[in-house]
Amino acid sequence: MTSHSAIEARGLVKRYGHVTAVDHVDLTVRAGDVYGYLGPNGAGKTTSLRMLLGLIRPDEGSAKLFGRDPLVEGVGALDGVAGFVEAPRFYPYMTGRRNLELVAALDGGDAAERIDAALETVDLHKRQHDKVKGYSHGMRQRLGIAGALLRDPRLLLLDEPTTGLDPAGMRDMRALVHRLASEGMTVLLSSHLMSEVEELCDRVAIVARGRVIHEGSLEELIASTSGRYELRTTDDDRATAIAARAEGIGELETTSHGLTFTAEERAVAALTLSLAQAGIGLTALVPRTATLEELFFRLTEGDQEPRPALRVIDAKGKVAA
């Protein structure tokens, strides 16, 4: 079973009348990944998760969890898989612990023996005997993760776990997900918050209008958007005039802090030599890598292809280490 990906979805399609909510989605989540499923609200993320868990049947395609198809093997395909889609639900008139006891009874096996550890992990052990109706939204989200942990999962699926939380609750939830991932658990985190995905995830799928428009390493994806430089000199006006005439320099803009431009490595080296020959000193020349937010809008709203990563060039035209 360990030879299989944690999640392997191919060609998932779900239609509701004339609306295609999920449009031929492919996903590969490897064991050990912290995988971000990133897209705006209404992009089809929750529908995709429901199909992965076998809660709804796809109109086309298939999904497997550790090599098992929930629609073929039933609940047995969910062994080692836990999480929640949308918000977790509990009996508000019962205590947090009593709710977990009911979950454990449904799961069977030794789930009940993990209640104390789960409460400790999500930092609810001091509030376990309080009724859930008195819990904050963040506490209910953490109780949902505690319920998932009773299954001793190898794969945890979380659908917008920080939605509706205040900044402190978001910080605590992210710290919890980070801790679980550091212990070797595979995590699929569905979110519309780019800062959250950028902070927690090592691989990402970006989805828009029901389609995955990028899937892969987050680090490589961000690095691939390099190509814009920020330049400050001892004479920015003259430097701008020289850059405007230089071959291979594009998208030249001046700002209050200097100038920015796009260029390939050879053009950057040539520009630095031209500036030096004109007696203009460089005070800073640094690459500007796009944030995930900038990249997301570039991919979803434009047709730009990510450029190859560029390296820092020093004032002498040499590649910096």
Give residues with Cβ within 8 angstroms of 63, minimum separation 6: 7, 8, 9, 10, 12, 51, 52, 54, 69, 70
Q: Residue 165: pLDDT above 90?
A: no
Q: What's the pLDDT score for residue 62?
A: 94
Do 55 and 79 belong together in one domain? yes
* Same-domain pairing of 30 and 90: yes
Contact by Cβ (8 Å): 101, 114: no
Provide the pLDDT for residue 224. 63
Name the token pair of 202.
Answer: 């090592």
Does a structural domain hold residue 316? no
Q: Does residue 317 form part of some domain?
A: no
Choose the final residue of a domain: 199, 218, 237.
Answer: 218
Please report whether residue 17 resides in a domain. Answer: yes
pLDDT of residue 215: 86
Instruction: Give the integer Cα–Cα distance in Å for 15 and 59.
Output: 7
Q: Are residues 71 and 107 in the same domain?
A: yes
Region of residue 112 (phi > 0: left; psi between -120 and 50: alpha; otherwise: beta): alpha
Average pLDDT value for the chain: 86
Q: Which of 184, 200, 218 is the last residue of a domain?
A: 218
How far lies 98's CA from each of 110, 113, 208, 254, 321, in Å? Answer: 16, 13, 40, 63, 58
Q: How many domains does the chain have?
A: 2
Is the domain of 247 the same as that of 205? no
Which residue would you say has higher pLDDT here, 143 or 108? 143
Indicate if 204 and 261 belong to the same structural domain. no
Q: How do strand 155-159 and strand 186-191 relate by DSSP bridges? A: parallel
Residue 164 lies in a domain: yes
Most confident of 220-224, 247-251, 290-294: 247-251
- 190 and 270 belong to one structural domain: no
Same domain, yes or no, for 293 and 150?
Answer: no
pLDDT, tens only, 230-245: 899 999 999 999 999 9
Query: What integer is the mean pLDDT of 213-236?
Result: 80
The answer to whether residue 309 scores a pLDDT higher than 60 is no
Q: How many CB atoms lie within 10 A of CB 183?
A: 8
CATH number, position 51: 3.40.50.300
Domain membership flag for residue 1: no
Three-point CA angle 85, 196, 290, nearest 5°: 135
pLDDT of 6-21, one tens digit each?
Answer: 999 999 999 999 999 9
Domain boundary among 195, 218, 241: 218
What phi-psi label fits residue 285: left (phi over 0), alpha (psi between -120 and 50 degrees) or beta? Answer: beta
Quick one: pLDDT at residue 234?
94
- Domain check: are 24 and 146 in the same one? yes
Check which CATH number belongs to the domain holding 265 and give it.
3.30.70
8 A C-beta contact, residue 295 and residue 224: no
Both 268 and 174 in a single domain? no
pTM for the model: 0.72
- 307 within domain boundaries: no
**Neighbouring C-beta atoms of residue 3, cutoff 10 Å:** 7
Same domain, 17 and 154: yes
Task: Measure the CA–CA gap between 312 and 288, rounded to whole angstroms.
Answer: 10
Range of the domain at 245: 224-301
Instruction: Report if residue 253 sits inside a domain.
Output: yes
The tokens for 224 are 């691939």
Same structural domain, 235 and 160: no
Same-domain pairing of 157 and 93: yes
Q: Which of 249, 273, 270 is nearest to 259 (CA)?
A: 249
pLDDT category of residue 303 using cuts at 50, 70 and 90 = very low
